[in-house]
Structure 1
Amino acid sequence: MPSLSKAMCFILRHHPEKFGIVLDEKGYCLISDVALAFQSQEAYRDVTERDIEREVRECPKQRFEIHGNQIRCRYGHSALAVSYSLEEPPVILLHGTHEGAISSIRKEGLHPMGRQYVHLSEDLHFASMAGKRRGKLVLLEVEALKAFQEGISFYRAGEGVWLSASIPPSFMKFKE
Protein backbone atom coordinates (compact mmCIF):
# COMPACT_ATOMS: atom_id res chain seq x y z
CA MET A 1 0.00 0.00 0.00
CA PRO A 2 1.50 3.39 -0.98
CA SER A 3 2.00 5.96 1.76
CA LEU A 4 -0.93 8.21 2.56
CA SER A 5 1.06 11.22 1.32
CA LYS A 6 1.75 9.64 -2.08
CA ALA A 7 -1.86 8.51 -2.39
CA MET A 8 -3.03 12.05 -1.59
CA CYS A 9 -0.75 13.38 -4.34
CA PHE A 10 -2.17 10.83 -6.76
CA ILE A 11 -5.70 11.96 -5.97
CA LEU A 12 -5.17 15.72 -5.69
CA ARG A 13 -2.44 16.30 -8.24
CA HIS A 14 -2.83 13.67 -10.90
CA HIS A 15 -6.36 12.26 -11.03
CA PRO A 16 -8.97 14.11 -8.97
CA GLU A 17 -11.62 13.33 -11.62
CA LYS A 18 -11.14 9.57 -11.17
CA PHE A 19 -12.28 9.98 -7.56
CA GLY A 20 -15.16 12.36 -8.22
CA ILE A 21 -13.23 15.31 -6.83
CA VAL A 22 -13.64 18.74 -8.36
CA LEU A 23 -10.89 21.22 -7.57
CA ASP A 24 -11.77 24.91 -7.41
CA GLU A 25 -9.85 27.54 -9.38
CA LYS A 26 -7.11 27.60 -6.74
CA GLY A 27 -6.73 23.81 -6.58
CA TYR A 28 -8.73 23.25 -3.36
CA CYS A 29 -11.38 20.69 -2.53
CA LEU A 30 -13.11 19.62 0.67
CA ILE A 31 -11.10 17.42 3.04
CA SER A 32 -14.25 15.36 3.48
CA ASP A 33 -14.28 14.64 -0.27
CA VAL A 34 -10.70 13.35 -0.08
CA ALA A 35 -11.62 11.16 2.90
CA LEU A 36 -14.56 9.72 0.92
CA ALA A 37 -12.26 9.06 -2.04
CA PHE A 38 -9.92 7.10 0.24
CA GLN A 39 -12.78 5.22 1.86
CA SER A 40 -13.96 4.05 -1.56
CA GLN A 41 -10.66 2.14 -1.92
CA GLU A 42 -10.32 -1.12 0.01
CA ALA A 43 -6.73 -0.43 1.09
CA TYR A 44 -7.66 2.97 2.53
CA ARG A 45 -11.24 2.44 3.73
CA ASP A 46 -10.34 3.36 7.33
CA VAL A 47 -8.76 6.74 6.45
CA THR A 48 -10.50 9.64 8.17
CA GLU A 49 -10.38 13.40 7.84
CA ARG A 50 -8.19 13.45 10.97
CA ASP A 51 -5.72 11.07 9.29
CA ILE A 52 -5.53 13.43 6.32
CA GLU A 53 -5.06 16.48 8.55
CA ARG A 54 -2.32 14.68 10.51
CA GLU A 55 -0.54 13.75 7.26
CA VAL A 56 -0.61 17.40 6.19
CA ARG A 57 0.87 18.53 9.53
CA GLU A 58 3.55 15.82 9.63
CA CYS A 59 4.57 15.63 5.96
CA PRO A 60 8.27 16.65 5.94
CA LYS A 61 8.03 17.80 2.32
CA GLN A 62 5.09 20.11 3.11
CA ARG A 63 3.26 18.87 0.00
CA PHE A 64 -0.20 20.01 1.11
CA GLU A 65 -1.96 22.91 2.72
CA ILE A 66 -5.27 23.23 4.51
CA HIS A 67 -7.44 26.33 4.75
CA GLY A 68 -10.55 25.83 6.83
CA ASN A 69 -12.14 22.60 5.65
CA GLN A 70 -10.31 22.53 2.31
CA ILE A 71 -7.04 20.98 1.11
CA ARG A 72 -4.77 21.35 -1.92
CA CYS A 73 -1.35 20.30 -3.13
CA ARG A 74 1.24 23.01 -2.62
CA TYR A 75 4.02 24.33 -4.81
CA GLY A 76 2.19 24.06 -8.10
CA HIS A 77 1.69 20.32 -7.62
CA SER A 78 -1.94 20.71 -8.45
CA ALA A 79 -3.54 19.84 -11.77
CA LEU A 80 -4.67 23.47 -11.85
CA ALA A 81 -2.59 26.62 -11.70
CA VAL A 82 -1.88 27.42 -8.07
CA SER A 83 -1.20 31.05 -7.30
CA TYR A 84 0.73 32.70 -4.49
CA SER A 85 1.41 36.30 -3.55
CA LEU A 86 4.51 37.98 -4.97
CA GLU A 87 7.00 38.64 -2.15
CA GLU A 88 10.54 39.90 -1.69
CA PRO A 89 12.74 36.85 -1.03
CA PRO A 90 15.72 36.49 1.30
CA VAL A 91 19.16 37.39 -0.05
CA ILE A 92 20.04 33.74 -0.79
CA LEU A 93 17.82 30.73 -1.50
CA LEU A 94 18.95 27.16 -2.15
CA HIS A 95 18.01 24.74 -4.90
CA GLY A 96 18.83 21.06 -4.65
CA THR A 97 19.44 19.17 -7.86
CA HIS A 98 21.57 16.30 -9.14
CA GLU A 99 24.83 16.06 -11.09
CA GLY A 100 23.13 15.16 -14.36
CA ALA A 101 21.25 18.47 -14.44
CA ILE A 102 24.20 20.81 -13.81
CA SER A 103 25.46 21.31 -17.36
CA SER A 104 21.97 22.27 -18.56
CA ILE A 105 21.41 24.59 -15.59
CA ARG A 106 24.79 26.30 -16.20
CA LYS A 107 23.67 27.09 -19.78
CA GLU A 108 19.94 27.70 -19.42
CA GLY A 109 19.26 28.35 -15.74
CA LEU A 110 16.52 26.82 -13.62
CA HIS A 111 13.13 26.07 -15.18
CA PRO A 112 10.01 24.38 -13.76
CA MET A 113 10.62 21.18 -15.78
CA GLY A 114 7.02 19.99 -15.98
CA ARG A 115 5.94 21.75 -12.80
CA GLN A 116 4.43 25.18 -12.49
CA TYR A 117 7.40 26.64 -10.59
CA VAL A 118 11.04 26.15 -9.69
CA HIS A 119 11.23 25.13 -6.00
CA LEU A 120 13.69 26.92 -3.72
CA SER A 121 14.42 26.70 -0.03
CA GLU A 122 15.65 28.89 2.79
CA ASP A 123 17.37 25.93 4.42
CA LEU A 124 19.59 23.00 3.58
CA HIS A 125 17.12 20.37 4.79
CA PHE A 126 14.38 20.98 2.22
CA ALA A 127 16.83 21.66 -0.63
CA SER A 128 18.64 18.40 0.17
CA MET A 129 15.42 16.36 0.18
CA ALA A 130 14.48 17.70 -3.23
CA GLY A 131 17.93 17.21 -4.75
CA LYS A 132 18.66 13.65 -3.58
CA ARG A 133 15.85 12.02 -5.54
CA ARG A 134 17.73 11.49 -8.81
CA GLY A 135 21.38 11.03 -7.95
CA LYS A 136 24.26 12.74 -6.20
CA LEU A 137 23.09 15.96 -4.57
CA VAL A 138 24.34 19.30 -5.88
CA LEU A 139 23.29 22.48 -4.07
CA LEU A 140 22.91 25.75 -5.90
CA GLU A 141 22.87 29.12 -4.18
CA VAL A 142 20.44 31.48 -5.87
CA GLU A 143 21.00 35.20 -5.39
CA ALA A 144 17.28 35.62 -4.89
CA LEU A 145 17.11 39.21 -3.68
CA LYS A 146 19.34 40.40 -6.53
CA ALA A 147 17.20 38.44 -9.02
CA PHE A 148 14.03 39.93 -7.50
CA GLN A 149 15.46 43.44 -7.78
CA GLU A 150 16.13 42.75 -11.46
CA GLY A 151 12.57 41.63 -12.17
CA ILE A 152 12.42 37.90 -11.35
CA SER A 153 9.23 37.04 -9.43
CA PHE A 154 9.34 35.04 -6.19
CA TYR A 155 6.46 33.60 -4.19
CA ARG A 156 6.46 32.29 -0.62
CA ALA A 157 4.69 28.93 -0.71
CA GLY A 158 5.18 27.65 2.79
CA GLU A 159 7.52 27.59 5.74
CA GLY A 160 10.93 28.22 4.17
CA VAL A 161 9.79 27.28 0.65
CA TRP A 162 9.82 29.68 -2.27
CA LEU A 163 8.76 29.42 -5.91
CA SER A 164 9.81 31.17 -9.11
CA ALA A 165 8.96 30.70 -12.78
CA SER A 166 12.56 30.57 -14.06
CA ILE A 167 15.94 31.78 -12.89
CA PRO A 168 18.80 32.63 -15.27
CA PRO A 169 22.23 31.12 -14.49
CA SER A 170 23.69 34.58 -13.82
CA PHE A 171 21.94 34.53 -10.43
CA MET A 172 23.43 31.19 -9.31
CA LYS A 173 26.51 29.99 -7.49
CA PHE A 174 27.33 26.36 -8.18
CA LYS A 175 28.52 24.40 -5.10
CA GLU A 176 29.68 21.03 -6.40
Structure 2
Amino acid sequence: MASGSPLKPNKSGPTHNVKLSKLLSYILRHGAEKEGLHMLPSGYVKVEDLLKHPKFKGYNLDNIRLVVQNNSKQRFQLNEDGAEALIRANQGHSIDVPDLELTKLEPGEIEFAIHGTYEKCVSSIKEKGLSRMRRQHIHMVVDELQPGKVVSGARQSCDYVVRINVAKAQKDGLEFFKSKNNVILCPGDENGVILPKYFYSIHPRIF
Protein backbone atom coordinates (compact mmCIF):
# COMPACT_ATOMS: atom_id res chain seq x y z
CA MET A 1 0.00 0.00 0.00
CA ALA A 2 1.18 3.55 -0.65
CA SER A 3 3.06 4.43 2.51
CA GLY A 4 2.68 7.87 3.99
CA SER A 5 -0.64 8.52 2.18
CA PRO A 6 -3.32 10.00 4.45
CA LEU A 7 -6.53 8.04 4.58
CA LYS A 8 -8.96 10.95 4.41
CA PRO A 9 -9.43 12.59 1.01
CA ASN A 10 -8.17 16.16 0.94
CA LYS A 11 -9.50 16.79 -2.55
CA SER A 12 -13.02 15.68 -3.35
CA GLY A 13 -16.12 16.63 -5.29
CA PRO A 14 -17.05 16.24 -8.98
CA THR A 15 -14.55 18.81 -10.30
CA HIS A 16 -11.58 17.27 -8.51
CA ASN A 17 -12.71 13.74 -9.44
CA VAL A 18 -12.89 14.62 -13.14
CA LYS A 19 -9.50 16.34 -13.00
CA LEU A 20 -7.90 13.36 -11.26
CA SER A 21 -9.54 10.90 -13.68
CA LYS A 22 -8.14 12.80 -16.67
CA LEU A 23 -4.72 12.97 -15.05
CA LEU A 24 -4.73 9.23 -14.38
CA SER A 25 -5.81 8.55 -17.97
CA TYR A 26 -2.94 10.62 -19.31
CA ILE A 27 -0.30 9.05 -17.08
CA LEU A 28 -1.47 5.43 -17.28
CA ARG A 29 -2.31 5.39 -20.99
CA HIS A 30 0.25 7.72 -22.52
CA GLY A 31 2.63 9.67 -20.32
CA ALA A 32 4.22 7.50 -17.62
CA GLU A 33 7.67 7.36 -19.20
CA LYS A 34 7.60 11.02 -20.19
CA GLU A 35 6.74 11.95 -16.60
CA GLY A 36 9.54 9.77 -15.21
CA LEU A 37 7.25 7.11 -13.72
CA HIS A 38 8.14 3.43 -13.92
CA MET A 39 5.45 1.25 -15.49
CA LEU A 40 5.49 -2.52 -15.08
CA PRO A 41 5.02 -4.73 -18.18
CA SER A 42 1.46 -5.33 -16.93
CA GLY A 43 0.72 -1.60 -17.16
CA TYR A 44 0.68 -1.04 -13.41
CA VAL A 45 2.29 1.99 -11.76
CA LYS A 46 2.89 2.22 -8.02
CA VAL A 47 0.36 4.54 -6.38
CA GLU A 48 3.08 5.74 -4.03
CA ASP A 49 5.15 6.88 -7.03
CA LEU A 50 2.15 8.70 -8.49
CA LEU A 51 1.44 10.54 -5.25
CA LYS A 52 5.05 11.72 -5.04
CA HIS A 53 4.80 13.26 -8.52
CA PRO A 54 4.19 17.05 -8.63
CA LYS A 55 1.11 16.63 -10.85
CA PHE A 56 -0.58 14.66 -8.05
CA LYS A 57 0.15 17.18 -5.30
CA GLY A 58 -2.76 17.33 -2.85
CA TYR A 59 -4.18 13.93 -3.83
CA ASN A 60 -3.99 10.72 -1.81
CA LEU A 61 -4.90 7.05 -2.03
CA ASP A 62 -8.51 7.60 -0.99
CA ASN A 63 -8.97 10.13 -3.81
CA ILE A 64 -7.70 7.52 -6.27
CA ARG A 65 -9.94 4.83 -4.78
CA LEU A 66 -12.94 7.12 -5.21
CA VAL A 67 -12.16 7.79 -8.88
CA VAL A 68 -11.66 4.09 -9.62
CA GLN A 69 -14.88 3.08 -7.86
CA ASN A 70 -17.01 5.82 -9.43
CA ASN A 71 -15.70 5.67 -12.98
CA SER A 72 -18.70 4.62 -15.04
CA LYS A 73 -16.50 3.21 -17.81
CA GLN A 74 -14.27 1.24 -15.42
CA ARG A 75 -11.18 2.74 -17.02
CA PHE A 76 -8.85 1.85 -14.15
CA GLN A 77 -7.88 -1.18 -12.11
CA LEU A 78 -6.57 -0.65 -8.57
CA ASN A 79 -4.69 -3.57 -7.02
CA GLU A 80 -4.16 -3.44 -3.26
CA ASP A 81 -3.54 -7.16 -2.72
CA GLY A 82 0.22 -6.83 -2.26
CA ALA A 83 2.50 -4.75 -0.09
CA GLU A 84 2.12 -1.75 -2.41
CA ALA A 85 -0.97 -0.34 -4.10
CA LEU A 86 -0.79 -0.47 -7.90
CA ILE A 87 -3.00 1.11 -10.56
CA ARG A 88 -3.32 0.73 -14.32
CA ALA A 89 -5.60 1.67 -17.19
CA ASN A 90 -7.63 -1.22 -18.58
CA GLN A 91 -7.27 -0.06 -22.22
CA GLY A 92 -6.69 2.99 -24.38
CA HIS A 93 -2.89 2.96 -24.35
CA SER A 94 -0.70 4.68 -26.89
CA ILE A 95 2.34 3.13 -25.19
CA ASP A 96 3.13 -0.56 -25.52
CA VAL A 97 1.94 -2.66 -22.56
CA PRO A 98 3.02 -6.25 -23.30
CA ASP A 99 1.26 -7.94 -20.36
CA LEU A 100 -2.07 -6.11 -20.16
CA GLU A 101 -3.98 -9.39 -19.64
CA LEU A 102 -6.30 -9.03 -22.60
CA THR A 103 -8.52 -11.99 -23.47
CA LYS A 104 -8.17 -13.09 -27.08
CA LEU A 105 -11.51 -13.73 -28.77
CA GLU A 106 -11.77 -17.06 -30.54
CA PRO A 107 -13.32 -17.27 -34.05
CA GLY A 108 -17.10 -17.29 -33.78
CA GLU A 109 -17.13 -15.96 -30.21
CA ILE A 110 -18.77 -12.73 -31.39
CA GLU A 111 -20.20 -11.99 -34.83
CA PHE A 112 -19.90 -8.21 -34.90
CA ALA A 113 -18.68 -5.22 -32.91
CA ILE A 114 -19.60 -1.54 -32.93
CA HIS A 115 -17.28 1.45 -33.16
CA GLY A 116 -18.62 4.90 -32.31
CA THR A 117 -17.50 7.83 -34.45
CA TYR A 118 -18.57 11.23 -35.77
CA GLU A 119 -20.18 12.41 -39.00
CA LYS A 120 -17.10 14.45 -39.91
CA CYS A 121 -15.03 11.22 -39.96
CA VAL A 122 -17.43 9.07 -41.99
CA SER A 123 -16.11 9.88 -45.48
CA SER A 124 -12.54 9.04 -44.49
CA ILE A 125 -13.61 5.84 -42.71
CA LYS A 126 -15.61 4.67 -45.73
CA GLU A 127 -12.59 5.25 -47.96
CA LYS A 128 -9.67 4.18 -45.76
CA GLY A 129 -11.16 2.15 -42.91
CA LEU A 130 -10.80 2.48 -39.15
CA SER A 131 -7.32 3.38 -37.91
CA ARG A 132 -5.95 2.85 -34.42
CA MET A 133 -4.03 6.11 -34.97
CA ARG A 134 -1.68 6.71 -32.02
CA ARG A 135 -3.20 4.02 -29.83
CA GLN A 136 -2.35 0.35 -29.66
CA HIS A 137 -5.88 -0.76 -30.58
CA ILE A 138 -9.12 0.26 -32.26
CA HIS A 139 -11.87 0.36 -29.62
CA MET A 140 -15.28 -1.25 -30.04
CA VAL A 141 -18.26 -2.49 -28.05
CA VAL A 142 -20.54 -5.48 -28.47
CA ASP A 143 -23.85 -3.96 -27.41
CA GLU A 144 -25.78 -1.35 -29.35
CA LEU A 145 -25.19 2.21 -28.12
CA GLN A 146 -28.25 3.15 -26.09
CA PRO A 147 -29.31 6.78 -25.44
CA GLY A 148 -27.97 8.00 -22.11
CA LYS A 149 -26.13 4.75 -21.39
CA VAL A 150 -22.43 5.01 -20.58
CA VAL A 151 -20.48 2.23 -22.30
CA SER A 152 -16.77 1.54 -22.07
CA GLY A 153 -15.24 1.68 -25.54
CA ALA A 154 -17.42 4.41 -27.08
CA ARG A 155 -17.86 8.11 -26.45
CA GLN A 156 -21.33 9.19 -25.38
CA SER A 157 -21.21 12.07 -27.86
CA CYS A 158 -20.56 9.97 -30.99
CA ASP A 159 -23.26 10.42 -33.64
CA TYR A 160 -22.38 7.60 -36.08
CA VAL A 161 -21.73 3.90 -35.60
CA VAL A 162 -19.64 1.47 -37.63
CA ARG A 163 -20.72 -2.17 -37.44
CA ILE A 164 -17.73 -4.46 -37.99
CA ASN A 165 -17.94 -8.02 -39.26
CA VAL A 166 -15.62 -9.57 -36.69
CA ALA A 167 -16.03 -13.12 -37.98
CA LYS A 168 -14.96 -12.13 -41.51
CA ALA A 169 -12.02 -10.10 -40.23
CA GLN A 170 -10.85 -12.99 -38.05
CA LYS A 171 -10.93 -15.35 -41.03
CA ASP A 172 -8.51 -12.99 -42.76
CA GLY A 173 -6.14 -12.99 -39.79
CA LEU A 174 -7.16 -9.94 -37.75
CA GLU A 175 -7.07 -10.47 -34.00
CA PHE A 176 -9.67 -9.24 -31.53
CA PHE A 177 -9.36 -9.02 -27.75
CA LYS A 178 -11.52 -8.12 -24.76
CA SER A 179 -10.23 -5.91 -21.95
CA LYS A 180 -10.98 -6.22 -18.24
CA ASN A 181 -13.77 -3.65 -18.65
CA ASN A 182 -15.28 -5.47 -21.66
CA VAL A 183 -14.01 -3.22 -24.43
CA ILE A 184 -13.38 -5.04 -27.72
CA LEU A 185 -9.91 -4.23 -29.05
CA CYS A 186 -8.25 -4.84 -32.39
CA PRO A 187 -4.73 -3.76 -33.42
CA GLY A 188 -5.85 -3.79 -37.05
CA ASP A 189 -3.78 -5.10 -39.94
CA GLU A 190 -0.08 -4.44 -40.55
CA ASN A 191 -0.98 -0.77 -41.04
CA GLY A 192 -3.10 -0.57 -37.89
CA VAL A 193 -6.35 -0.45 -39.88
CA ILE A 194 -9.64 -2.35 -40.13
CA LEU A 195 -10.45 -2.02 -43.83
CA PRO A 196 -13.93 -1.04 -45.11
CA LYS A 197 -14.48 -4.53 -46.55
CA TYR A 198 -15.04 -5.70 -42.97
CA PHE A 199 -17.89 -3.26 -42.31
CA TYR A 200 -21.50 -4.38 -42.16
CA SER A 201 -22.67 -0.79 -42.23
CA ILE A 202 -22.02 2.82 -41.24
CA HIS A 203 -25.08 4.73 -40.14
CA PRO A 204 -26.25 7.53 -37.83
CA ARG A 205 -26.58 6.61 -34.20
CA ILE A 206 -30.15 6.45 -32.94
CA PHE A 207 -30.62 8.72 -29.91
What TM-score do the two structures reach when normalised by structure 1? 0.80
Partner of residue 97, structure 2: 81
Q: Structure 1: state its 5+ residue gaps.
A: none
2:155 maps to 1:130: yes
Partner of residue 162, structure 2: 140
- Alpha-carbon distance, 1:33 to partner: 2.1
Partner of residue 196, structure 2: 169
**Equivalent position to 1:49, from 55, 61, 65:** 61
* 1:22-171 alignment, distance < 5 Å: 22-37=38-53, 40-41=54-55, 44-45=57-58, 47-67=59-79, 68=81, 69-77=85-93, 79-82=95-98, 83=100, 84-88=102-106, 89-123=109-143, 124=145, 125-126=150-151, 129-130=154-155, 132=157, 137-166=159-188, 167-171=194-198
If you compute each CA radius of gyration, which structure gives the higher value, 1 or 2?
2
- Alpha-carbon distance, 1:162 to partner: 0.8
Deviations 1:51-75 (A, max 9, x none): 2122123212332223443211232
CA-atom RMSD in angstroms? 2.6
- Alpha-carbon distance, 1:96 to partner: 0.3
- Over 4 Å off, 4+ runs: 17-20
Higher helix share: 1
Aligned residues: 169
Contact 1:95 1:131 in 2 (8 A): no
Letter in 2 for 1:93: A
Secondary structure of the structure 2 residue equivalent to 1:126: coil
Structure 1 residues 145 and 77: CA distance shift in structure 2, 3 A: same
Identical-residue share of aligned pairs (%): 28
CA–CA distance in 1 between the matches of 2:136 and 2:117?
17
Q: Structure 2: state its 5+ residue gaps.
A: 1-15, 189-193
CA–CA distance in 2 between the matches of 1:73 and 1:53?
14
CA–CA distance in 2 between the matches of 1:56 and 1:80?
22
- Alpha-carbon distance, 1:127 to partner: 7.1
